[in-house]
Amino acid sequence: MSEDKLTLYNWATSTCSQKVRFVLAEKALPYEDYRVDALKSEHLSDRYLKLNPNGVVPTLTHGLNVIIDSSVIAEYLDEVFGDVPLSPVDAYGRARMRAWRQFIDEVPTAAIRVPSFNGYIKHLWANKSDEELESLNAKRTVRKHFYEHLGREGSSQGEEARSVEMLRETVVRMDRALADGPWMVGEQFTLADITLVPTLVRMSDIGLARVWHDLPRVADWLARVERRPAFSQAFYPGSRFETRGTHPLATHKSQETAA
Ligand SMILES: N[C@@H](CCC(=O)N[C@@H](CS)C(=O)NCC(=O)O)C(=O)O
């Protein structure tokens, strides 16, 4: 194995994977795009769990190094491949960027799972027997109780409403920050912007763009993000829930990608 080779274990529609693919594309880094087969629960296989004990995508390998957690991967890539910097040079700027990362990981990233699961993912469970579901859950590590709670029915309407409330809180904060833009922490396009993109794209794809209907700065930010060349590389055809005729969890063979 080449010492410097980058491999991203991911799947097309995973928001956390989209974040890392966006970083790789901004930096024009070539990597092997290993598509984990979600429909076969490859992320819960013994082999994958050795790489990522959380049983989630993405995972990055860089030579022999294994890096997990999309925000950590994003920062790792920015530190190691600094030619196209995605973090402010000053400590205060970096602190503001990281405060966004913390908020995004805790609030909207968790919130968006609820309508995503209810609307698009739970139908995958319909044809599985109770035994199959139980044996899948038995292999889960950090997500075991989350999926046990969702069961076959998904979240209640109340939980869904609370998630939308948290997504609204997110875009209101974005709007405030963008008043001093053009980007989330000022002049520079940073990881704070990239970390928000998959959530807003997912919201847009599942009919939640109305949540920012009165916040034109957020709409304008998203339009500018979508015009960046990295956007279409991270969100290639088949990687969005809106893509008609393509299964949301469609997977393809592992392939070499020049990001
Ligand atoms: N904190 C992790 C979360 C990753 C995560 O939740 N990945 C989802 C896809 S976006 C996943 O693999 N889910 C698998 C499952 O729920 O079974 C990260 O940021 O990488």
* Residue 249: pLDDT over 80: no
Whether 256 has a pLDDT exceeding 60, the answer reads no
Residue 192 lies in a domain: yes
What mean pLDDT is predicted for residues 110-122?
86
Q: How many Cβ atoms are within 10 Å of 246's Cβ, its own excluded?
A: 15
Buried b (16+ CB within 10 A) or exposed e, 44-53: beeebeebbe
Say which range, 8-17, 41-50, 125-134, has the weakest mean pLDDT.
125-134
**Is residue 118 domain-resident?**
yes
Is residue 83 assigned to a domain? Answer: yes
35 Cβ inside 6 Å of ligand 1: no
For range 203-228, the mean pLDDT: 97
pLDDT > 70? residue 244: no
Is the pLDDT at 38 greater than 70? The verdict is yes
Q: Is residue 1 part of a domain?
A: no
Residue 95 belongs to domain spanning: 6-258
Q: Where are the alpha helices (DSSP H) in 125-182?
A: 130-139, 144-150, 157-178
Which residue out of 10, 16, 240 has the highest number of ligand 1 atoms within 8 Å of its CB and is therefore the one to mutate? 16
* pLDDT (0 to 100) of residue 105: 96
Give residue 217's pLDDT band: very low, low, confident or very high (50, 70, 90).
very high
The domain that holds 147 is classified in CATH as 1.20.1050.130
Beta pairing partners, 248: none
Burial class (CB in 10 A: 0-12, 13-18, 19+), 6: buried
* Residues 187-205, mean pLDDT to the nearest whole number: 97
| Helix runs in 52-205, H state only | 70-80, 91-106, 108-116, 130-139, 144-150, 157-178, 191-205
pLDDT at position 52 over 80: yes
Question: What secondary structure letter does DSSP report for 129?
Answer: -
Q: What is the CA radius of gyration of the chain?
A: 18
- pLDDT tier for residue 132 given thresholds of 50, 70 and 90: confident
Question: Is the distance from the beta carbon of residue 12 to the nearest atom of ligand 1 less than 6 Å?
Answer: no
For atom 17 of ligand 1, the residue with the nearest CA is: 56
Q: Ligand 1: which residue has its CA nearest to atom 12? A: 56
Q: In this predicted model, which residue has the larger pLDDT, 241 or 211?
A: 211
Number of domains in the chain: 1
> In this predicted structure, what is the pLDDT of residue 154?
85
